[in-house]
Amino acid sequence: MAAKPKLDPDKPGKPKPGPDKPDKRITLTVSTLSGDHTDKFPPKQQLKVVVEKAINEIRLEGPGPWILEHEGTELSQDRTIEDAGLEDGDVLTLNPQDGGGGSGR
Amino acid sequence: MDPAASKKVFDDEVAEMRAQARFTKVWPIVSADYPDLVVEFPHPSGARRRFRFRCDDWDDQAPSVRSVDAEGNELANEPVGPLFMGLNSGYGLCAPGTREYHDHHKENPWANQGLSLAEIVVRAASHYRKSSG
């Protein structure tokens, strides 16, 4: 009879990653003007969840919309982490959409 | 503003910026010797470009924002983009928070903005992202 896998206290009901099941979660840092938030996420997590978690943890205020960028490219928050090509340790920036300027002259 | 007081405000704000991951890994601060802050921005094309924020008389006056090369020389008429254009005081970014904008748009003075240096850098990075690179 196979031994039952240990449960991960961070993920109730899910087996804890062990030597035969490495932690494939990706560490991302969301950097805002109000501070940074670093967390681990599954590769198939949608970026909107990453953003929501950062907003809640940093307690960002403002109506948004919030623009998420990686290396100068705006990321659709409907994409997943792996679809966006993000890698472990990446830093994302999160900023409110600004109003522009333009001389109009 | 007294230059020593201006330098103090500049140094304090740069110290706060250095504590944020974005200014070490995404938009690295290349140098910060008062009155000049030089930051490198990535572009969706893969290009990277340095911008100098000249902060003399900070924060009584908005910084002059110019694209510079690796030696710190101004790059005339660069980059090309929706809000990068010729203004009264030369080629620059026509967006609130830059000296070039407020010199041009007297109806929207710098004194009304209340922007930090970090916020101005963020805005410049956003406008650069929409430029030709």
Nearest CA in chain A to B22: A31
3-class SS shares of chain B: helix, strand, coil, % to 5: 30, 25, 40
Domain boundaries in chain B?
Answer: 3-129
Min Cα distance B57 → chain A (Å) is 23
Min Cα distance A40 → chain B (Å) is 16
Q: What is the mean pLDDT of residues A41-61?
A: 95
Nearest to B54 by CA among B130, B124, B132: B124
How is domain B3-129 classified at the architecture level of CATH?
Answer: Roll (3.10)
pLDDT at A104: 38
d(CA B25, CA A66): 20
pLDDT at A63: 76
Which runs of consecutive H residues, i.e. helices, occur in B19-116?
99-104
d(CA B94, CA B102): 8
Answer yes or no: is pLDDT of A7 > 60: no
- Confidence band of A11 (pLDDT split at 50, 70, 90): low
> Residue B32: what residue type?
A
pLDDT at A21: 66
Nearest CA in chain B to A74: B44
Place of tokens 């007294």: B2
Dig out the tokens for B48 from the structure: 């990277």
Domain boundaries in chain A?
Answer: 26-96
Helix (H) or strand (E) holding B54: strand B48-54
pLDDT at A8: 55
Least confident range from A17-26, B4-13, B34-43, B55-64: namely: A17-26
Longest dimension (CA), chain B: 42
Contact status of B87 with chain A (Cβ, < 8 Å): yes
Answer yes or no: is pLDDT of A100 > 80: no
Give DSSP secondary structure letters for A30-69. EEETTEEEEEEE-TT-BHHHHHHHHHHHHT--S--PEEEE
Least confident range from A18-27, A86-95, B2-11: namely: A18-27
pLDDT at A99: 46
* CB proximity under 8 Å: B 23-82 to A: 25-27, 41-44, 82
pLDDT at A102: 42
> Residue B36: what residue type?
D
Options 3.40.50.2000, 3.40.1030.10, 3.30.70.1710, 3.10.20.90; CATH for A26-96 is 3.10.20.90
DSSP state of A61: -
Place of tokens 């994302």: A92
| pLDDT one-digit tens code per residue, B56-102 | 999 999 999 999 999 999 999 999 988 999 988 889 999 999 999 99
Dig out the tokens for B102 from the structure: 């407020």
Q: Which pTM value belongs to this model? A: 0.84
